[in-house]
Amino acid sequence: MIFIQGSSKLSKEALLNLAEKEGIILLNPKKVNSEQELLLAEKLTQNTFKEKRNLAKKQEKEFLLWLAAKKDISSAFEEYGFQTPKELLLISFKKTKAQLLNQFQLKETKLKLKRKATPIEIERISLSRTI
């Protein structure tokens, strides 16, 4: 998984269309607190696909469901989706960083994520499907 924080010259609509076509998730960087949250959501996504317990058909959408601790994609996008091309967090499972920077016309900015998640953040994600 690659995650890049940055801004793009492309319009919001162009970014959304490109992300959908390429299997990329574009998030509001203010909603994600730590790298550990991203890594946990990725691991849970891999496990659910391996065990055929996934709710979403696509890996990137299943990842978003775990990260947002939601069971429906609309509410996950509503809460975690990016608001403006000037500030976004791009998540990819397939492309290289160079490909992403070029394709999404990204100007990379400093990643503003903590290394470790709080126990509450871990619990929110890991227990989201038990309720």
Work out the angle between the directed axes of helices 73-80 and 59-68 (0-180°, nearest 10).
Answer: 70
- Reading the chain (131 residues) residue by residue, the pLDDT tens digits are 999 999 999 999 999 999 999 999 999 999 999 999 999 999 999 999 999 999 999 999 999 999 999 999 999 999 999 999 999 999 999 999 999 999 999 999 999 899 999 999 999 998 888 75
d(CA 32, CA 55): 21
Class (C level, CATH) for 2-126: alpha beta
In sign, the C-alpha dihedral spanning 51, 53, 59, 63 is negative
pTM of the model: 0.92
Tell me the one-letter amino acid at 106: L
